Amino acid sequence: MDKSSDYIKLEAAYREIQIQLEEANDIIDAIRSGEVDALVVNGKDGHQLFTLKSADHSYRIFIEQMIESALTLNRDGIISYCNSQFAALCQSPLERLIGKDFLDFIEPGYKDLAKEVITQAWQKETKAELLLKNSSGNNTPVQLSLKQLDLDESISLSVIITDLTDIKKTQQLLQIKNAELEEAQRLGEELNENLERIVQDRTAELEAKNHELFNALKDLRESEDNLHSAFNAGELGSCSLDLKTGRAEMSERFRELYGLPVSGEISWEMVLSAVDPAYIPGLNKVLENCIIYGSPVDSTYPIKHLLTGEKRWMRVVGKCKKDESGNFVSVSAVLMDVTDQKQDEQRKNDFIAMVSHELKTPLTSVKGYIQVLQLKAKIEKLAFPMKALEGANRQIVKMTNMINGFLNVARLESGKIMIDFEKVELNKLVQEILEEYKGDIVDHRFQENYGPELFIMADWEKLGQVINNLISNAIKYSSGNTDISISCFQDGSNAVFKIIDQGMGISTTDLPRLFERFYRVENSKTATVAGFGIGLYLSSEIIQRHQGRIWAESELGESSTFYFSIPLAIGQ
């Protein structure tokens, strides 16, 4: 757009200059042809009247008033008179111009043309364009208008010189603008062709994408129908929680399972009102870990149906969703009624508790008999019986620990494990437990790193059981003569325990399931390690009851790192 505007302005200026030039030429022609007898010139002394009769003096006065260069030549082409405008054009004083050959001021390449024009001008009026050379050696484009002039004294050749510099520049600019416009037009045509081709290509792509989108929407509707059918068949409820507004959306089945209103908005507080108060902190902690760390939601808890008052067990499974900035913005979950499964588990746990209790009584008696026999063998210095009895005693201890594990699971599931909170300094607890290992463990080295005191509200015995389990696993699942690194530190408002072994590592398949009940990593390296998959499950449950979090990081064939974090005591 800017180039077109400049072009229009230049073209208008060029036309105006041409008009002025034509008018000046017409006036000069009229004067030379005798069509006018006098001329009024507005000079510095006011209006003056010049006549062309007996006008050699008047002629010179007249041409001096002209804005154009003017001169007279004799038959030999010698300058007999010139005005100051011609002197300025040649950049020479007037006295140096008079008497000079006019051809000396013509650019060499145009001298032949100048000679021809001067010869013709003695016969008839002639015009020509050529280059005039000044004293600096620079050339000026000019137009010569030549005509025989009959003055009182003699016949001369009148030469009127028009400076074409501005006109040439304008023409040059017009040519440039014309070239630019032609190039712009060419580019525009090329762009239009390309644009048309691009539009055609994009249209084809959009049609293909629309077809793909149509098929995708069709598949999505089918998937939604299948999912809806699966939800109905499994009697599953679904819900989502907006973390910014706290607004919850529930399916009809979800509302039915809780006894919530069948319509209207439901808040998270309304959902929690049905949950057993003892389980609310744990449920909130699971949700908090999901929001902060992206941990999956998986929690089982009892509710009191808001309409019937019936106690039912629910299991919620879900995950957090992120926005484009990577912030967690909502939680989507599936709810299922697991009352029947919980009742079956309770019966199983009751059976395990009963059997474990019944087994502990004879084991206690057997352990007592073994201790008596060990004492007798020691007194009598019977080497073989002493060694055999030590082995039997170790097996009794293993059996007792296993039974205690089953009992703990049963108590945990039935809610009979109580957490006795007291103010505990985590560094001190870890150091006491490690002292028990250092006397017996000779093929592992403990690397300890403790920070400032970390006071937490915890059950000394239960938390010690968790630490014992993590240290025991690090020893069992790592090769001898390796380091086990243990550290305690503060992370925000939490105290963190961290243990790193140099063991076999854990695959990405097994890692998410480590803390499930009775889950064991099964491979050739773990086949010889005793256990029932109870320890980490119990540890996870105990940490959750401390409003904490437990997790692991590992890669197969590399070291494993286990953590747990517990909120610091108020005032820490």
Residue 321: the pLDDT is 85
Residues 432/438, Cβ–Cβ less than 8 Å: no
Average pLDDT over residues 468-480: 87
The DSSP secondary structure of 116-168, one letter per residue, reads HHHHHHTTS-EEEEEEEE-TTS-EEEEEEEEEEEE-SS-EEEEEEEEE-HHHH
User: Taking residues 358-377, what's their average pLDDT?
Assistant: 75
First to last CA, the chain: 72
Q: Among candidates 297, 338, 289, which has minimal Cα distance to 317?
A: 297
pTM, entire model: 0.41
Average pLDDT, the chain: 79
Position 183 pLDDT exceeds 60 = yes
Which residues partner with 312 through β-bridges? 303
- Between these two residues, 383 and 403, which has the higher pLDDT value? 383
Residue range 524-539: mean pLDDT, rounded: 65
427: pLDDT strictly greater than 90: yes
pLDDT at residue 175, rounded to an integer: 84
Binning pLDDT at 50, 70 and 90, where does residue 460 land?
very high
What angle separates helix 460-476 from helix 426-438, to the nearest 10 degrees?
50
- For range 497-502, the mean pLDDT: 94
Partners of residue 133 on adjacent β-strands: 139
**Rg of the chain on CA atoms, in Å:** 55
Position 449 pLDDT exceeds 80: yes
Give alpha helix (H) positions in 516-563: 535-545
Amino acid 563: pLDDT: 96
The mean per-residue pLDDT over the stretch 71-96 comes to: 87
What is the reported pLDDT for 466? 93
Q: Where are the beta strands (DSSP E) in 361-474?
A: 422-425, 444-450, 455-458
pLDDT single digits (tens) 20-57? 667 655 655 554 444 544 444 444 444 343 444 444 55
Closest CA to 73 of 62, 65, 82: 82
Strand arrangement, sheet containing 560-567: 444-450, 482-491, 494-500, 560-567, 549-554
**pLDDT value of position 171:** 80
Least confident of 32-46, 184-198, 420-434: 32-46
Return d(Cα 127, Cα 108) in angstroms, integer. 19
Burial 461-498 (b: 16+ CB within 10 A, else e): ebbbbbbebbbebbbebbeeeeebbbbbbbeeebbbbb
Structure tokens at 499: 């243990």
Q: Which of the pair, 366 or 531, is modelled with greater confidence?
A: 366
* pLDDT value at residue 25: 59
Task: Calculate what percentage of the chain has a pLDDT beyond 90.
Answer: 18
**Dist. CA 372–CA 366, nearest whole Å:** 10
Amino acid, res. 257: L
- Concatenating the DSSP letter of every residue in 230-264 gives HHHHHT-EEEEEETTT-EEEE-HHHHHHHT--SSS
Residue 402 contacts residue 532 (beta carbons within 8 Å): yes
Report the C-alpha gap between 196 and 199 in whole angstroms: 5
- The model's confidence at residue 479, banded by pLDDT at 50, 70 and 90, is confident
Q: Name the 3-class secondary structure at 395.
A: helix
Least confident residue range of 16-25, 80-89, 159-168, 437-446: 16-25
Structure tokens at 245: 């507004």
How confident is the model over 542-550, as a mean pLDDT?
A: 90
Per-residue tokens: 39: 């001329």
Mean pLDDT of 90-101: 86
Residue 490: pLDDT over 90: yes
Residue 462 in this model has a pLDDT that exceeds 60: yes
